[in-house]
Amino acid sequence: MPAAIVGETPSLSTFLKSLKSTDVESSIDLFISLLKRRQIKNSRPCALATAQLLLRVVAATRIRDVQQLIDRISEVGRRLVAAQPREMAVGNIVRRILGVVREVAEEDERDGSLGSGRVSGAASPDPSEARRPFLTKTFSGMSPLGQSVTVPHDFHPRVKTPMIEYTSPPGFDASAEREVKRPVLPSSASYAGLPPVSSLLSLLEDPLARSPIPTPPPGSSPRIQPMGKITESKEKIDVKAEVIDGIKELLDELEVVDNQIAENALDHIHSNEIILTHTSSQTVQKFLMTAARKRKFTVVHAEAYPNNHDETHATIVNGGKKGTGDEEEVDERWKPLTSMGITVILIPDTAVFALMSRINKVILAPHSVLANGSLLAAAGASTIALAAKSHRVPVVVLSGVYKLSPIYPFDTHELIEYGDPGKVVSYEEGEFMDKVDVINPLYDWVDADCVDLYITNLGGCAPSFLYRIVADHYRTEDIDLGGKGSS
């Protein structure tokens, strides 16, 4: 099904194909070089490739103990991140897979320590005491995260907060109490949606007790069931199989993320709206298409010259699926919005401010979202967001959770990648290129206060809430991949 050119230029699809045949180490090297050469770029391809590669890595690793697996994944992850630190999706996926491993490991340990005596779902103080020696290390490491998770909930944990910092058992008390306070939990937890991968809450809870919590991603249900089975049958968990399941689930999530985001479309787009968007994002196209099935509106599309305008034009003319590299989905027909009766107005980036007074909503697709609610998006996004802010136009950002990075933008400048100046001025103009500094930044940093709403695959949330979702998806010990790492 892929087009003919795939064979020649290395891209995501060639990489994924080669993944099956080549051995792990050379696959890693290949991915690193593809990343470095920007032959795999943008969040989604990077995330997909990372997940697939780590799946291979996990499958190929012989593990005697979980720590070894964690070390291996973080070692590979470190190399990948170092190859292209600005593709944050790579790091995000590595972190989430590490989270999967850790979760599996903890369940394993818990099962081991609890033995066969454990029947009920609620964690009683006694078993927690019994496994304390095992868990002290990870638990104390997680205490800051634990606080950030517990604080928003209610006053119960707040009372215990000081104790959490000293010892672990109170934490278990808190968890036990939360088990009792079940009715409160699902509502707040479902806000974050409890994605397939671990959250602190799920860590503290019993896997059995967790299953009633609504888990929106369709991929998550298959995993919980086998786990419950395993726990019930009191066998030792097959760590590797569990981790592979977790990664597959992550891949499933990457596949359905656009659809999940698009499900929210009708809640946000009403008839006769004028919506401004930017770049050729697949997520945004899907979102708009979903809305277009029911409602008529107008889309004003800024073209993102000079880095993305060709793709943007292609998207407008031929529909959402872009042909840049990831052809493996090419069979899925993406109708252009225009064919669904939606008026699409193409404008150059310069006209954004002029038109903003008539725009009802701005929909942006980020490159990555940072933990404080700010985001990195294609160059020009900052102007759009600012213009929207000055016209009091709501800015909606559509982002899969995989784009959500636990990084705080202390220095926004270093997050920006600079692209090929030849796209701005042709290299044929030798003297100009020689004497004038031609600069072509690829990304813009948009502050959190310019964004009104994030729509992730878990639902909508305010930018100020994103840190919670970060806390739910990444372990503190994994946040700093480059540094001391896991252990």
**Per CB under 8 A, which region of 41-49, 126-134, 233-241, 349-357 contacts another protein?**
349-357
Exposed / middle / buried, residue 216 (Cβ in 10 Å: 0-12, 13-18, 19+): middle
CB of 429 to another protein, least distance (A): 9
CB of 15 to another protein, least distance (A): 24
Query: To which residue do tokens 């060639």 refer?
Result: 14
The set of residues, in sequence order, having a beta carbon less than 8 Å from that of 425 and lying 6+ positions away, is 432, 433, 436, 438
What are 368's strand-pairing partners?
376
CB of 245 to another protein, least distance (A): 39
Pattern 297-316, binding to another protein, x per CB under 8 A?
A: -------xxxx-xx--xx-x
CB of 379 to another protein, least distance (A): 4
At CA 366, angle to CA 363 and CA 370, rounded to 5? 125
- By beta-carbon proximity to another protein, the closer residue of 347 and 453 is 347
What's the start-to-end Cα distance of the chain, in Å?
A: 44
> Do the Cβ atoms of 293 and 271 come closer than 8 Å?
no
Binding status of residue 383 toward another protein by CB under 8 A: yes
Q: DSSP for 103-127? A: HHHHHHHHHHHHGGG--SSSPPHHH
CB of 436 to another protein, least distance (A): 5
- By beta-carbon proximity to another protein, the closer residue of 252 and 310 is 310
The token pair at 284 is 């945004």
Q: Considering only CA atoms, which of 61, 58, 41, 46 is closest in space to residue 93?
A: 46
- By beta-carbon proximity to another protein, the closer residue of 240 and 313 is 313
Q: What are phi and psi of 474, to 5 degrees?
A: -125, 145
**Per CB under 8 A, which region of 143-151, 255-263, 440-448, 455-463 contacts another protein?**
440-448
Binding status of residue 435 toward another protein by CB under 8 A: yes
CB of 399 to another protein, least distance (A): 20
**Per CB under 8 A, which region of 50-58, 90-98, 383-391, 463-471 contacts another protein?**
383-391
What are 444's strand-pairing partners?
377
**Per CB under 8 A, which region of 94-102, 283-291, 352-360, 400-408 contacts another protein?**
352-360
Interface pick for another protein out of 2, 152, 422, 441 (rule CB under 8 A): 441
Binding status of residue 347 toward another protein by CB under 8 A: yes
Binding status of residue 378 toward another protein by CB under 8 A: yes
Binding status of residue 360 toward another protein by CB under 8 A: no
Pattern 93-132, binding to another protein, x per CB under 8 A?
A: ----------------------------------------
Q: Where are the alpha helices (DSSP H) in 115-199?
A: 125-150, 155-166, 169-180, 184-192
The token pair at 218 is 């369709």
The set of residues, in sequence order, having a beta carbon less than 8 Å from that of 391 and lying 6+ positions away, is 356, 357, 359
CB atoms under 10 Å from CB of 428, counted, come to 8
Binding status of residue 152 toward another protein by CB under 8 A: no
Binding status of residue 350 toward another protein by CB under 8 A: yes
CB of 468 to another protein, least distance (A): 28
Distance in angstroms (rounded) separating the CA atoms of residues 422 and 432: 11
Q: Considering only CA atoms, which of 287, 304, 441, 446 is closest in space to residue 366?
A: 446
Distance in angstroms (rounded) separating the CA atoms of residues 248 and 220: 10
Interface pick for another protein out of 37, 341, 480, 482 (rule CB under 8 A): 341
Return residues touching another protein (CB under 8 A). Answer: 304-307, 309-310, 313-314, 316-318, 336-339, 341-355, 357-358, 378-380, 382-383, 386-387, 390, 413, 416, 423-425, 431-432, 435-441, 444-445
